[in-house]
Amino acid sequence: GNLCRCTGYRPILAAFKTFAADVADDGEDREVGVEVECRHASDMTLHDIEEASCGSHPTCGRDGLPCAKYRRAPPLPPTIAAIQANKRPLHFTHPDTGTEWYRPVSLAGLTRLMARL
């Protein structure tokens, strides 16, 4: 994803520590010690953060469940789900400027709109 480098990565790291199983309760930063945890650490070449794991069944979070569980989008609250279910295409023209706004709700609708523009 795109991260703003002006804010730094510390707040992001701090947020992720709440989900880490090996984070210290005193809030102090500690080295993870990959070379201790992963016997084959010297052979590891990581191209993406999601490749970082030890063993054949990587787990995420404090509950030890497989990472695949966390890759699904969380369910929407019922009020938001109802709005999403009833979303209709929209075309609005600003009365003063003439600026047009569109809201296609499907790929087919977007394709039709792009063909018209």
> Rounded CA gap, 81 and 114, in Å?
27
Question: What contacts 57, CB < 8 A, 6 or more positions away?
Answer: 66
How many domains does the chain contain in total?
2
Q: Does residue 88 share a domain with residue 65? A: no
Q: Does residue 111 share a domain with residue 59? A: no
Q: Is 35 within the bounds of a domain?
A: yes
- The pLDDT value recorded for residue 46 is 47
Q: Is 85 within the bounds of a domain?
A: yes
pLDDT in tens, 14-60: 777 777 665 555 655 554 444 444 444 444 454 444 445 555 555 55
- The pLDDT value recorded for residue 14 is 73
Q: Is 2 within the bounds of a domain?
A: no
91: containing domain: 78-116
Q: Is 42 within the bounds of a domain?
A: yes
The rounded mean pLDDT for the chain is 68
Q: Does residue 54 share a domain with residue 27? A: yes
Rounded to an integer, the average pLDDT of 107-112 is 92
Q: How confident is the model at residue 84 (pLDDT cuts 50, 70, 90)?
A: confident
